[in-house]
């Protein structure tokens, strides 16, 4: 109401682009499953389905102190994980923002310095006669894993671009940097955040089968039967299973044939650090949703359908609209949409928005978030139905990341969408659980398991 016919028409165009029917999602799920199977069968496929070398499950009764380094796309966390038994773990941790310099140049030296700061601040630096401290390294970028504690970087994602790392063992790069600081630290395991999120849940919940991240980026890991992992050439583990890190953010990369690309997605992709890669991730995760919305806002403004055609230096710059602003816009129920006014007029520095402008801005936020949540269900359903027998008993999906935790309605829409594709009798067995700090605690759990089994 109050909108012109042209504005209404533009919003209708967006709704058609961003609201995906169940039928369309069903087709994408089928293609997703095909790509999963291909990745389990051979190397060099779209979904890398990386064997993690994690072939154990914790009992929850293990105890001891382990350390972890968690490198996400936005922050680095260093922590001590104390396993207390009974499925309980406590964390002592310190968070460091990744400076631009670390993202593009000095990453591993920066990480080593943070480890040193953490150990010194808490008086835990080992003396020359002490045993090495055992660290789990949560490294959430695609690696070709060659053992539980080695793996070569395939390529960077999520805005990191440090030269000289692709094709090299990231554990060696880290241990060399630690050595340069004289730290007696042993990296017992390197895992993706999905694998550690899964293992953190498994420490307290035997039903945990899948770990998922919806944060800066997105990925999932699950326990796979090794007989289904045809490309696995190593010895079969005694447990008969292995956690596989799917690297699902790469779904539809290079081909761009299956996902519902809009001109706004294509504009983002072209200007990203990794064009045509991580196609699925770019429609789902925190790093990108704000940018998609910014592209839409400019598309509307350029047609004089929003903000009277005005923009600002801030709004014109890539990445100006953080996804957290979409979160607050999507839940703004105040009569004059004052939170949105704040974002448009203060954060983006475009003065004098009208109520209609703000209503359209809210619709944009909701559409981008809703598509992300519905597409997230695609990967989940494909994974849940891969080992359908798992759905006949209780099964826990452990999920971490700001999108899942904070984006309004994301968890509800994702679960609701998934329920359309799984029989009710099985769907009721599924529990989606927020595993806050899961990737840190899980890295400690895996360091413990790796040390126990070496």
Q: Which residues bind ligand ADP (CB under 6 A)?
A: 72-75, 215-216, 286-287, 322-324, 327, 401-403, 406-407
CB 182 to ligand ADP: min, Å: 29
Question: In the complex, what is the shortest distance from the CB of residue 363 to ligand ADP, in angstroms, rounded to a whole number?
Answer: 17
CB of 403 to ligand ADP, least distance (A): 5
Query: What distance lies between CA 322 and its chain's CA centroid?
Result: 16
Distances, alpha carbon 318 to alpha carbons 254, 322, 372, in Å: 23, 10, 20
CB of 62 to ligand ADP, least distance (A): 25
Region for residue 160 given its phi and psi (left: phi exceeds 0; alpha: psi -120 to 50; beta: otherwise): beta
DSSP string, 129-157: TSPPEEEEEEE-S-EEEEETTEEEE----
Closer by beta carbon to ligand ADP, 181 or else 331: 331
C-beta closer to ligand ADP: residue 211 or 401: 401
Q: What is the DSSP letter of 102?
A: I
**What are phi and psi for residue 212, nearest 5 degrees?**
-135, 145
The count of C-alpha atoms lying within 13 angstroms of the C-alpha of 431, restricted to the half-sphere facing its C-beta, is 13
Choice between 7 and 140, CB closer to ligand ADP: 140
Pick between residue 97 and residue 235 the one whose CB is nearest to ligand ADP. Answer: 97
- Quote the CA–CA distance of 385 and 381 in Å, as a whole number: 6
Residue with Cβ nearer ligand ADP (325 or 421): 325
Identity of the residue, 251 or 407, whose beta carbon is nearer to ligand ADP in the bound complex: 407
Task: Output the smallest distance, CB 419 to ligand ADP, in A.
Answer: 23
Burial of 406 (0-12, 13-18, 19+ CB in 10 A): middle
Please report how close the Cβ of residue 286 comes to ligand ADP at its closest, in angstroms.
3
Q: According to DSSP H, which parts of 89-212 are helical? A: 100-101, 107-121, 170-180, 193-204
Phi first, then psi: what are they for 311, rounded to 5°? -135, -165
Do residues 369 and 330 make contact, with C-beta atoms less than 8 angstroms apart? yes
Which positions are annotated as active-site residues?
A: 158, 193
Q: Is 318 helix (H, G, I), strand (E, B) or coil?
A: coil
Residue 19 corresponds to which tokens in the numbers above? 């609201």
């Amino acid at each position: 109401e109050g909108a012109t016919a042209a504005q209404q028409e533009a919003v209708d165009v967006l709704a058609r682009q961003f609201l995906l029917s169940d039928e369309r999602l069903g087709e994408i799920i089928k293609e997703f499953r095909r790509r999963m199977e291909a990745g389990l069968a051979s190397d060099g496929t779209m979904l890398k389905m990386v064997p993690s070398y994690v072939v154990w499950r914790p009992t929850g009764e293990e105890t001891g102190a382990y350390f972890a380094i968690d490198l996400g796309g936005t922050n680095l966390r260093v922590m001590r994980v104390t396993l207390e038994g009974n499925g309980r773990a406590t964390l002592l941790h310190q968070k460091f923002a990744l400076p631009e310099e670390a993202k593009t140049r000095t990453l591993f030296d920066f990480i080593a310095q943070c480890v040193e700061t953490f150990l010194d601040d808490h008086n835990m630096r080992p003396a020359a006669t002490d045993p090495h401290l055992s660290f789990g390294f949560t490294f959430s970028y695609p690696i070709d894993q060659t053992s539980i504690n080695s793996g070569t970087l395939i390529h960077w994602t999520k805005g990191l671009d440090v030269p000289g790392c692709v094709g090299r063992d990231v554990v060696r790069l880290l241990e060399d940097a630690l050595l340069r600081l004289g730290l007696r630290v042993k990296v017992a395991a390197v895992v993706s955040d999905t694998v550690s999120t899964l293992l953190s849940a498994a420490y307290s919940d035997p039903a945990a089968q899948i770990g998922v991240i919806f944060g800066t980026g997105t990925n999932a890991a699950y326990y796979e039967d090794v007989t289904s992992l045809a490309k696995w050439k190593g010895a079969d583990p005694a447990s008969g299973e292995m956690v596989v890190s799917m690297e699902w953010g790469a779904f539809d990369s290079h081909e761009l044939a299956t996902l519902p690309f809009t001109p706004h997605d294509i504009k983002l992709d072209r200007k990203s650090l990794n064009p045509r890669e991580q196609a699925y991730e770019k429609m789902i995760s925190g790093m990108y949703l704000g940018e998609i919305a910014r592209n839409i806002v400019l598309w509307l403004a350029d047609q004089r359908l929003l903000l009277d055609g005005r923009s600002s230096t801030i709004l014109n710059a890539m990445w100006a609209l953080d996804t957290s602003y979409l979160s607050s816009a999507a839940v703004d129920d105040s009569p004059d949409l004052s939170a949105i006014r704040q974002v448009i007029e203060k954060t983006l520095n475009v003065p004098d928005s009208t109520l209609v402008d703000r209503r359209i801005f809210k619709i944009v936020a909701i559409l981008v978030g809703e598509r992300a949540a519905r597409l997230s269900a695609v990967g989940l359903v494909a994974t849940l139905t891969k080992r359908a027998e798992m759905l006949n008993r209780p099964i826990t999906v452990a999920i971490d990341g700001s999108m899942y935790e904070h984006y309004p309605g994301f968890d509800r829409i994702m679960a609701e969408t998934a329920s359309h594709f799984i029989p009710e009798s099985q769907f009721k067995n599924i529990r989606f659980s927020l595993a806050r700090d899961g990737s840190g605690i899980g890295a400690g759990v895996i360091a413990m398991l790796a040390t126990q089994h070496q």
